[in-house]
Structure 1
């Protein structure tokens, strides 16, 4: 029997809103690579690479793509389980909303895709015809 839909929706809704502030052990990180078995290699703002585990409530509910951002809770070196250095406690889904927060690190540049650009996209359009150039 599958998980109730209310649990799935609650996990998805929780990841859309950023927290008011971060604790000492929490940090934003960029996902470098999915290692398998709910493990991800992530890059911290100080360019350190860590191996983190996805929280159980997000497993089979939310997928994280390479280059996405997550909120990780790093464990003390004494409490680490093998190579796993922490846990993904939240997934950044609405990047615009998260970037407005004071704790967003300057080390993570704005993505190349920006909604505020005024240029028209040519995706899905036909190329200009040659007959227009003959005038």
Structure 2
């Protein structure tokens, strides 16, 4: 298999930067849980369920999809696909400009952005020195 042409890579990259204005009833934003291989990915849907989804051919070998990233999925023929395979739907777009996508009204509320300060708890001992004997006096 050859290297994808530059025009195809640029077209796929341009399409994935701008979010659509609205989604259909069968489209959802999902989070990548893990790569299964052969353009198959396990994704977490907004309702908390996981689904195996196939990457659309125009994004294969052009856009890198990483674990924890977000994608736009279409589950239009989920019931029909489940009869013949384990794939529930298709990844139709990849979220690259997450800041612009988060401003859209259809962004799921349970996909909150993790910041460094939220991950730490107040009782953490990382970076703190243990009390010494001289401190007690």
Bigger Rg, structure 1 or 2: 2
Question: Measured at CA, do residues 88 and 77 of structure 1 come closer, stay the same or move farther in structure 2, by a change above 3 Å?
Answer: closer
More helix by share: 2
Residue equivalent to 2:65: 64
Over 6 Å off, 4+ runs: none
TM-score, normalised by the number of residues in structure 1: 0.79
After superposition, the CA RMSD in angstroms is 1.5
Question: Measured at CA, do residues 60 and 44 of structure 1 come closer, stay the same or move farther in structure 2, by a change above 3 Å?
Answer: same
Which residues of structure 2 form unaligned runs of 5+? Answer: 118-137
- Which residue, out of 102, 105, 120, partners 1:102? 105
CA shift digits 1:108-134 (9 cap, x unpaired): 0113269xxxxxxxxxxxxxxxxxxxx
Which residues of structure 1 form unaligned runs of 5+? Answer: 115-135
